[in-house]
């Protein structure tokens, strides 16, 4: 290793001189980071090139994963983990006199997604690469990712996320693969050779989409690892996108519309805004990616005969569902296939993953708007809808109500989920309960039309990032006991359960948890210092040491996720401790984190409530040593990597039936937290895997009960408010002035109060059944405290919970997709190809334009 380390250090010096004109001792951190990554990058380029050659050479069936969002986080640390070079890199840094953690913190956190959906896409890319499947990821290179959140006196302020400020050493601009995408225009009718109507286009707007590639490095112990491509489209760097004619006509905003198309990510999680630019973004992804897919196919094929065998396209949520009409158009209009042939191909190739049952999150587009922006695609959707409706009428004669429910276009709106289901050969939910709800409720009609179309693939997370990389101490704990096979075969993780009752393992586990808590405290100290210039004295008022239970809820702020329930519980606890300081045994450090969509007022009020609560509780001398509340600003992947290993208790308390899967829940368990939860999403399967015996903190109404309650309209939060004293007291505190210090706070908290007891005008009170579950949540939290007073017992539970996570690796999810949906085979890099590329690469060292002075 020493020789390797010295060579690598030399390479870094080389890049500093050749690309920046700096020597190693004078380079600043940013330059050093860039040279370092460039050297590392060189190592993986060989495998990347060979992997890509292999796909073409072997003509494998390819998976193309289309997603409007990804959340890769930082790449450097994960990349060296995946090529098993962490120790080597640490040694190199030692040689060069630089600090590892400082270097890592140089890198921006890539957050070109909102939350779980984008993070899932990134976990899937990691698994596809590690399992060596032939795959390609497509997405958008938003110039500004998810906003940076700052809290100013409890008010969320959104700042732009400038992740591209410095040159990103991991991305490759691919000018040769730029494509044009067309919007608007006048469709001109023509017949194709099958005497079917197709449309050419005149007077359209054309936008150039330029791809930037990120390498996705598969984990491997040996040097023959795969590297996949995440291809992100941008319209920014194409001068032709600026419409000079419009600029000259004084329409400055419109002139730059196409240049700025990929500027910002829409910051809505589980909510659709229906904005025009968003529709243009979605079509850009679809059209550019399809052109790229077809170009790739054409490299080895002259006809489309083999296309349905070679191509699989997975649509991550409905956002890229326009692939269905666009592929139809390309086949019928550009390539003269018949509608029947094109439809068979389209349906065979496409699969759709549903991520939500929330009505407000289901995508619909105004038909007139779509028709104006995408006239040909809209006509095709109309055509497909006519065909679809007659299929329904054939199977269910006379059932016009059913036709209206299933129709793709209804009431002047295009329903993207209906389009996605009709155009796909498989539709999947993301956890068993979620898929069942799709079949029995949201898409019941579709299920009755075609039962085989619906399958479940439960989500997972990559154990490489979410244990091996983010929690090295616990990873080592596992490795010492069961070896390292779990890194690529997570079913082996089960074996850690054999050590749950072992006192020595329990002690070591608790020790590691403590160290991780200190690491977390360190992070928030630094973060607060940087953001607000906070002093250590101030911090002492807001944190509790490692002996306290770290009770964590980190996720997007959304009413259905019920951060409000946890806030009310803390209020109840606060009242209780204040009344009777003696009875309280367990110190509790309640940690929140998460962004609210900028336009989501209720969510912002909830953040404000948590802020008011923290201020009250943290400064009250009667409770100050018993409980503290802390809001971690700007929750993102990098923060999650530090918070999750430090957590004792994972809060997964959504209204049962509403969280499709959740993946945060899995990350916590893998890192040795216990879960307090409703029986929702993947929690159900996690419980079954851990077994009820070791899953002690389940509470609340079931999904069935909630659906029943909604149907019968028989839920009344006022009954609970009136009959449960501690709940009444907590709710009253929202408006009695005890928490607030100014008018704005009074208004925010009274809005929260109103949403619980009266409901906003036209909407029922407490729509997410917070009060209905609050009492049982409160009782369950009592049991949490009881168990926490017995640390070794707690550790025993925690280790059993870790073991039970064996089925929740993204590797398992990907294998299931490959089997149930894609019919995809592994395709490791061809060894001859690897050899050839290595050979070609290594020759460069012998080339010197200017001979050395000798």
Nearer to ligand PLP, 288 or 677 (CB): 677
Q: Which stretch binds ligand PLP (CB under 6 A): 208-216, 534-542, 603-611, 634-642?
A: 634-642
CB of 116 to ligand PLP, least distance (A): 3
Q: Give 5 or 802: the residue with its C-beta nearer to ligand PLP.
A: 802
Rounded (10°) angle between helices 29-57 and 831-842: 140
Whether 561 is catalytic is yes
* Element at 150 (helix H, strand E): strand 148-152
Least gap, CB of 36 to ligand PLP (angstroms): 25
Among the listed residues 636, 671, 689, 809, the single contact to ligand PLP using CB under 6 A: 636
Phi-psi region of 184 (alpha: psi -120 to 50; beta: other; left: phi over 0): left
CB of 464 to ligand PLP, least distance (A): 14
CB of residue 803 to ligand PLP, shortest distance in Å: 21
∠ at Cα 836 (830, 842), nearest 5°? 130
566-569 LR contacts (CB < 8 Å, sep 24+): 566/590, 566/592, 566/651, 566/653, 567/606, 567/609, 567/610, 567/613, 568/727, 568/730, 568/731, 568/770, 568/774, 569/774, 569/777, 569/778, 569/781
Q: How many residues does the chain have?
A: 854
For residue 354, which of 429, 459, 449, 264 has the smallest C-alpha distance? 429
In the bound state with ligand PLP, the residue whose beta carbon lies nearer, of 138 and 668, is 668
* Residue in the block written with tokens 């419409």: 243
Q: How many residues sit close enough to ligand PLP to count as binding (CB under 6 A)?
A: 12
Q: Looking at 85, 106, 637, 676, which residue binds ligand PLP (CB under 6 A)?
A: 637
For residue 141, the SS3 value is coil
Which residue out of 49, 54, 623, 663 is catalytically annotated? 663
Binding flag, residue 664, ligand PLP (CB under 6 A): yes
Whether 663 is a known active-site residue: answer: yes
Q: Which neighbouring-strand residues pair with 466?
A: none
Nearest alpha carbon to residue 696 among 649, 655, 662: 649
Instruction: Name 150's bridge partners.
Output: 157
How near is the Cβ of 472 to ligand PLP at its closest, in Å? 18
Looking at 91, 208, 231, 355, which residue is catalytic? 355
Give the closest residue to 296 by CA, choosing from 127, 134, 424.
134
Query: CB of 346: closest distance to ligand PLP in angstroms?
Result: 32
- Nearer residue to ligand PLP within complex by CB, 381 or 640: 640
For residue 293, how far is the Cα from the chain centroid? 24
Minimum CB separation of residue 673 from ligand PLP in Å reads 12
Using an 8 Å Cβ cutoff, are 442 and 393 in contact?
no
Burial class (CB in 10 A: 0-12, 13-18, 19+), 421: buried
Catalytic residue among 555, 558, 566, 588: 555
CB of 662 to ligand PLP, least distance (A): 4
Nearer to ligand PLP, 740 or 809 (CB): 809
Cα–Cα distances in angstroms (integers) from residue 570 to residues 79, 555, 676, 718, in the given order:
40, 18, 15, 20
Tell me the residue number closest to ligand PLP, measured at CB.
Answer: 664
- Binding to ligand PLP, residues 42-71 (CB under 6 A): 71
β-pair partners for 171: none
- Closer CB to ligand PLP, residue 645 or residue 664? 664
Among the listed ranges 326-334, 565-573, 660-668, 828-836, the one in contact with ligand PLP (CB under 6 A) is 660-668
Within residues 83-142, the interface with ligand PLP by CB under 6 A covers 115-116, 119
What single string gives the DSSP state of each residue in 251-278? -HHHHTTTTTTTSB----SS-----HHH
**Per-residue 3-state assignment (H helix, E strand, C coil) for 296-329:** HHHCCCCCCCCHHHHEEEEEECCCCCCHHHHHHH
Q: Which two tokens stand for residue 663?
A: 């993946």
The region of 475-483, 495-503, 656-664, 845-853 touching ligand PLP under the rule CB under 6 A is: 656-664
Q: Which residue has the tokens 């029995």?
A: 440
Q: Which residue from 77, 662, 717, 828 is in contact with ligand PLP, where contact means CB under 6 A?
A: 662
Residue 793's φ and ψ, nearest 5 degrees, are -65, -45
Q: Is 434 in the site for ligand PLP (CB under 6 A)?
A: no
Min separation Cβ 664 and ligand PLP, Å:
2
Binding mask 372-391 for ligand PLP (x = CB under 6 A): --------------------
- Phi and psi at residue 331, to the nearest 5°: -70, -45
**CB of 457 or CB of 482, closer to ligand PLP:** 457
Tokens describing residue 85: 């070079």
Q: Is residue 645 part of the contact set for ligand PLP (CB under 6 A)?
A: no
| Catalytic (active site) residue 526 | no
Nearer to ligand PLP, 597 or 637 (CB): 637
Q: What is the sign, positive or negative, of the torsion defined by CA atoms of 145, 150, 156, 160? A: negative
Task: Spell out, one character per residue from 581 to 620, where the chain touches ligand PLP: x when CB under 6 A holds, - when not.
Answer: ----------------------------------------
Q: Considering the candidates 556, 595, 615, 800, report the single residue annotated as catalytic.
A: 556
198-206, 356-364, 659-667, 728-736 -> range binding ligand PLP (CB under 6 A): 659-667
* Known active-site residue 280: no
- Nearest distance in Å: CB 728, ligand PLP: 30
Taking alpha carbons only, the member of 314, 352, 355 closest to residue 115 is 355
Residue 555 appears among annotated catalytic residues:
yes
Whether the CA torsion 32, 33, 38, 42 is positive or negative: it is positive
> Does 663 engage in binding with ligand PLP (CB under 6 A)?
yes
**Quick one: 650 or 772, whose CB is closer to ligand PLP?**
650
Beta bridge partners of 368: none
- Quick check: 325 binds ligand PLP (CB under 6 A)? no
Give the Å distances, CA to CA, from 287 to 106, 200, 319, 627. Answer: 35, 16, 13, 53
Q: Which one of the listed residues 561, 569, 616, 639 is annotated catalytic?
A: 561
Nearer to ligand PLP, 129 or 686 (CB): 686
**How distant is the alpha carbon of residue 708 from its chain centre?**
31
Residue 201 or 358: the one with the smaller Cβ distance to ligand PLP is: 358
- Give the nearest distance from C-beta 590 to ligand PLP in angstroms: 16
Q: Write down the catalytic residue from 280, 615, 667, 753.
A: 667
**How far is Cα 594 from Cα 604, in angstroms, rounded to an integer?**
11
Interface characters, 533-562, with ligand PLP (x: CB under 6 A): ----------------------x-------
With respect to ligand PLP, which residue has the nearer C-beta, 121 or 370? 121
Residue 194 three-state SS: coil
Residue of 640, 703, 730, 784 that binds ligand PLP (CB under 6 A) = 640
Closest distance to ligand PLP from the beta carbon of 117 (Å): 8
Residue 472, beta-bridge partner list: none
Closest approach, Cβ 63 to ligand PLP, in A, equals: 23
Which of 566, 480, 477, 487 shows the shortest CA–CA distance to 513? 477
Contacts of 376 (CB under 8 A, 6+ apart): 187, 199, 201, 329, 333
Nearer of residues 435 and 636 to ligand PLP, judged by Cβ: 636
Sites of contact with ligand PLP (CB under 6 A): 71, 115-116, 119, 555, 636-637, 640, 662-664, 667
Q: Could you list the active site residues? A: 355, 555-556, 561, 663, 667
């Amino acid at each position: 290793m020493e020789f390797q380390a010295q060579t690598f250090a030399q390479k870094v010096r080389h890049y500093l001189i050749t690309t920046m004109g700096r020597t190693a001792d004078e380079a600043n951190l940013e330059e050093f980071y860039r040279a370092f990554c460039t050297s590392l990058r060189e190592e993986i380029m060989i495998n990347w090139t060979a992997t890509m050659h292999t796909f073409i050479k072997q003509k494998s069936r390819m998976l193309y994963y289309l997603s409007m969002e990804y959340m890769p986080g930082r790449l450097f640390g994960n990349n060296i983990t995946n090529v098993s070079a962490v120790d080597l890199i640490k040694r190199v840094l030692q040689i060069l006199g630089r600090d590892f953690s400082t270097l890592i913190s140089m890198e921006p956190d890539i957050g070109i997604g909102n939350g779980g959906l984008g993070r899932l896409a990134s976990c899937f890319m990691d698994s596809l690469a590690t399992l060596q499947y032939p795959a390609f990821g497509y997405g958008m290179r938003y110039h500004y990712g998810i906003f940076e959140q700052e809290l100013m006196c409890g008010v969320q302020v959104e700042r732009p996320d400038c992740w591209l400020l410095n040159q990103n050493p991991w991305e490759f601009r691919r000018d040769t693969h730029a494509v044009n995408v067309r919007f608007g225009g006048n469709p001109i009718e023509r017949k194709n050779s099958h005497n079917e109507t197709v449309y050419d286009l005149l007077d359209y707007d054309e936008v150039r989409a330029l791809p930037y590639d990120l390498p996705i490095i598969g984990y491997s112990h040996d040097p023959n690892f795969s590297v996949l491509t995440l291809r992100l489209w941008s319209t920014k760097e194409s001068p032709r996108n600026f419409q000079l004619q419009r600029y000259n006509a004084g329409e400055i905003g419109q002139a730059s519309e196409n240049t700025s198309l990929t500027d910002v990510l829409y910051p809505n999680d589980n909510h659709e805004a229906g904005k025009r630019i968003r529709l243009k973004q979605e079509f850009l992804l679809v059209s550019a990616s399809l052109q790229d897919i077809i170009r790739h196919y054409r490299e080895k094929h002259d006809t489309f005969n083999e296309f349905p065998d070679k191509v699989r396209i997975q649509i991550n949520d409905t956002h890229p569902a326009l692939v269905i009409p666009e592929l139809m158009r390309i086949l019928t209009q550009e390539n003269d296939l018949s509608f029947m042939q094109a439809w068979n191909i389209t349906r065979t190739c496409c699969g759709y993953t549903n991520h939500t049952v929330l009505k407000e999150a289901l995508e619909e587009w105004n038909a007139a708007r779509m028709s104006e922006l995408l006239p040909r695609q809209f006509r095709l959707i109309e055509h497909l809808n006519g065909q679809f409706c007659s299929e329904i009428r054939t199977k269910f004669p006379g059932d016009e109500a059913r036709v209206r429910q299933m129709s793709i276009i209804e009431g002047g709106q295009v329903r993207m989920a209906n389009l996605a289901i009709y155009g796909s050969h498989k539709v999947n939910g993301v956890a068993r309960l979620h898929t069942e709800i799709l079949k029995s409720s949201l898409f019941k009609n579709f299920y009755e039309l075609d039962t085989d179309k619906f399958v479940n693939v439960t989500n997972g997370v990559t154990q490489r990032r979410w244990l091996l990389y983010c929690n090295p101490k616990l990873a080592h704990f596992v490795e010492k006991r069961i070896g390292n096979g779990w890194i690529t075969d997570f079913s082996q993780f089960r074996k850690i359960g054999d050590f749950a009752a072992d006192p020595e393992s329990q002690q070591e586990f608790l020790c590691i948890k403590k160290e991780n808590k200190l690491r977390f405290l360190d992070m928030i100290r630094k973060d607060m210092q940087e953001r607000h210039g906070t002093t250590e004295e101030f911090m002492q008022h807001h944190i509790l040491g490692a002996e306290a239970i770290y009770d964590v809820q980190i996720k997007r702020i959304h009413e259905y996720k019920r951060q409000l329930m946890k806030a009310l519980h803390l209020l109840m606890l606060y009242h209780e401790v204040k009344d009777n300081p003696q009875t309280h045994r367990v110190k509790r450090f309640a940690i929140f984190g998460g962004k609210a969509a900028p336009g989501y007022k209720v969510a912002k009020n909830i953040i404000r409530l948590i802020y008011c609560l923290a201020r009250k509780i943290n400064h009250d001398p009667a409770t100050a040593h018993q409980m503290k509340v802390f809001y971690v600003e700007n929750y993102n992947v990098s923060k999650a990597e530090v918070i999750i290993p430090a957590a004792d208790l994972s809060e997964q308390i959504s209204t049962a039936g509403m969280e499709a899967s959740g993946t945060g829940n899995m990350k916590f368990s893998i890192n040795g937290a216990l879960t307090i939860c409703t029986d929702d999403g993947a929690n159900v399967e996690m419980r079954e895997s851990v077994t009820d015996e070791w899953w002690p903190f389940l509470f609340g109404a079931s999904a069935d009960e909630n659906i029943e309650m909604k149907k019968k309209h028989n839920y009344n939060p006022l009954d609970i408010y009136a009959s449960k004293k501690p709940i009444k007291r907590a709710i009253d505190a929202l408006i009695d002035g005890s928490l607030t210090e100014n008018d704005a706070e009074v208004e925010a908290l009274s809005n929260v109060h109103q949403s619980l007891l009266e409901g906003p005008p036209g909407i029922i009170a407490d729509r997410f059944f917070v009060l209905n579950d609050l009492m049982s949540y409160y009782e369950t939290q009592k049991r949490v405290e009881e168990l926490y007073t017995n640390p070794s017992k707690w550790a025993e539970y925690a280790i059993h919970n870790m073991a039970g996570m064996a089925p929740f690796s993204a590797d398992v999810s990907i294998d299931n997709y490959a089997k149930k949906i894609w019919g995809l085979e592994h395709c490791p890099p061809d060894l001859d190809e690897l050899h050839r590329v290595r050979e070609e690469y290594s020759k460069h060292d012998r080339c010197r334009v200017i001979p050395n002075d000798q």
